[in-house]
Amino acid sequence: MLIIGLTGSIATGKSTVSSILSSPPYSLPIIDADILARKVVEPGTVGYKAIVDYFHSTTPDLLLDDTSNPSPHGKPLNRPALGRRVFGDSEERKRDRQVLNRIVHPAVRWEVYKSLIFHYLRGQWAVVLDVPLLFESGMDLICGTVIVVGVHDPAIQMSRLRARDAHLTAEDAENRVRSQGDVSTKAAQAEFRGTSTARGVVVWNDADRTELEAAVKQAMSHIEGSSPRWWAWTLLLAPPLGVGVAAWNLMVNFATQKGWEKKRREEKSKL
């Protein structure tokens, strides 16, 4: 089974691409890390308790009064309030964001692995792993290919974000964009994985949905050509071969990741 990592920065159109890939003619299953991240911090979970224990004293509006659908396990998290607490460039916010990531990421990884096993056993040709911080979390290591959705003009990104989330101030929007990293860097990292072999693909979303759909169609044609459906069935019917290919893919991705890190260090040393 081909694992297609889907990433980008906030408001670049990643969710739209995910929607396109989940619909005909692709009809691919989507493992959405954002949905799983909400699941693992619902009232009553270990993640919820850890967040409340750490953040409640410094974030008075962390919890919502949900009188319409109260939970016996506690009040739901006020996600915008938590976002204001962790998004930003100050050392305090960076530290708090790291704490939040250490709480959420391990639980999300476990849910991802369970979902991957489920779809593999169902004989899926491919599955889309939708993770905003795919490279940053290291989950690109398990992906056969990575699609980065980007925009060339940051102003388009900011405009889309504020149109989508009207409650955000200009500062809030800028902090959220910065927290997910420069999308041009993610695009370069995808290209470093190998565009000719479809291990890394960039889909630019600077125009309308029609052009985006055409770009996705072109990307998927390239990916399917490099990893045809019959190959997925071969790996499913021959588990030892599947394990070997998965191990080889992991080694290739690890070596590629180290090569990228070396390239970035050399570029920084020249500045």
pLDDT per residue over 75-95, tens digit each?
889 988 898 888 888 888 889
Measured CA distances, 209 to 16, 21, 160, 201, 216 (Å): 8, 13, 13, 18, 10
> Bigger pLDDT: 158 or 79?
79
Contact 129, 31 (CB under 8 A): yes
SS3 253: helix
Does the pLDDT at position 190 exceed 70? yes
Between these two residues, 31 and 160, which has the higher pLDDT value?
A: 31
In this prediction, residue 22 carries a pLDDT of 97
| DSSP at 129 | E
pLDDT classification of 70: cutoffs 50, 70, 90: low
Instruction: Give the Cα separation of 222 and 19 in Å (integer).
Output: 19
Question: pLDDT-derived band of residue 159, with 50, 70 and 90 as boundaries?
Answer: confident
pLDDT at 168 over 70: yes
pLDDT (tens digit per residue) in 92-132? 888 999 999 999 999 999 999 999 999 988 889 999 999 98
Q: What is the mean pLDDT of residues 185-192?
A: 94
165 pLDDT above the threshold of 70:
yes
Domains along the chain?
2-29+124-269 (3.40.50.300), 35-110 (no CATH)
pLDDT, position 67: 61
Q: Binning pLDDT at 50, 70 and 90, where does residue 262 land? A: very high
What's the pLDDT score for residue 88? 81
Q: Quickly state the pLDDT bin for 148 (edges 50, 70, 90).
A: very high
Q: Tokens 């619909």 belong to which residue?
A: 23
